[in-house]
Amino acid sequence: MEKYKVGVVGCTGMVGQRFVTLLENHPWFELVALAASARSAGKTYEQAVGSRWLMKTPMPERVKKLVVMDAEADMDAFCDKVDFTFCAVNMKKDEIKALEEAYAKHECPVVSNNSANRHTPDVPMVVPEINPDHIRIIDAQRKRLGTKRGFIAVKSNCSLQSYVPALHPLREKYGLKNALVCTYQAISGAGKNFDTWPEMVDNVIPYIGGEEEKSEQEPMKLWGSIQGSEIVDATEPAITSQCLRVPVSDGHMAAVFFSFPEGVKPTEEEIRKCWADYRGRAQELELPSAPKQFLHYFDDPSYPQTRLQRDLEGGMAISLGRLRPDTQYDYKFVGLSHNTLRGAAGGGVLLAELLCAEGYIDRK
């Protein structure tokens, strides 16, 4: 098939670098344009990143000599080159919203890793296995923006991937009353590694700014419904969370406690079967980045472990374990996801695949 020509805006940061590596051999997408801040513009990608390359694999050869464009000043030329772009910029929220909307109004679809537009009512925030139908709101968004091709779609916060995918099929089948979630989040979620953040070695920081609010509020949009020209948040289950930064390079873990509505309580075997049987739209369409098995449950009580399971199915699967009854809630379990793959750039690539497969992104 003829590949879609894609760009990455915000290409020099950790998530931007991850996008670059994921696009190196992608069967549908060809990376043809890179953009970043004015200080990187005019340099080759190799020069712009320099010693700040944070990936474990080498920088792809074919992008080393690509000249980085100015994300704002070169917008016209950038949009002329691509069918759509990924966005992973590090700016203030109001600046990100303005930038992404400007690209959309240039008739360039934007698949964003940023949080700035996650609560814009007509911007779909999508996990393809959970709420693929939300992409239909793009029609209303295009009317608001006055565009034919351009729109913004976003992926959800990285920490959600370690527990919302497990709660989702249970909510669909049985309903959920409430949940308490404690997340233990890797330092790459802050765009750091141990070389750049030595203070995290042998340390835990019990605060991540804004993370607990995202963990409690964003699932409500994922589980919401399209009503007219906006997505209206769900009201259940009630979620409370606490988020900690732990000395791990990659991989967010969650300890989850949850209850079903009164009078409803499936067995442990029924819950595990619900997880094992669950397939989302990404699996139905056999999207290139989709895991074959979305939810993996491990019977060994010492699993999942960050180092052993975070890369499961290319880092796109969710690992679960330790399901058991709880004294205050109905049940509890542990979940794990790779935060820069499933939780960030990989989730963005999967969302772009869904948008292409469903006809919302076309080739020029």
**Hey, which residues are catalytic here?**
158, 252
* Structural contact between residues 165 and 318, judged by C-beta atoms closer than 8 angstroms: yes
Tokens standing for residue 194: 């141990």
Residues 6+ apart with CB under 8 A from 85: 6, 7, 8, 9, 33, 35, 78, 79, 103, 108, 109, 110, 111
> 360: helix, coil or strand?
coil
CA distances from 138 to 109, 133, 149, 153, 186 (A): 10, 10, 10, 8, 33
DSSP sequence for 301-331: TT---HHHHTTHHHHTSEEEEEEEE-SSSSE
> 141: helix, coil or strand?
helix
Name beta bridge partners: 188.
Answer: none
* Structural contact between residues 84 and 361, judged by C-beta atoms closer than 8 angstroms: yes
DSSP sequence for 68-80: PEETTTTHHHHHH
- As a whole number of Å, the end-to-end CA separation of the chain is 15
Name beta bridge partners: 252.
Answer: 337
Q: State the DSSP H helix or E strand holding residue 82, giving kind and residue range, or none if neither.
A: none
Report which DSSP code applies to 341.
Answer: I
Q: How many CB atoms lie within 10 A of CB 209?
A: 8
Residues 6+ apart with CB under 8 A from 189: 158, 159, 208, 245, 252, 339, 340, 343
Q: How many CB atoms lie within 10 A of CB 84?
A: 27
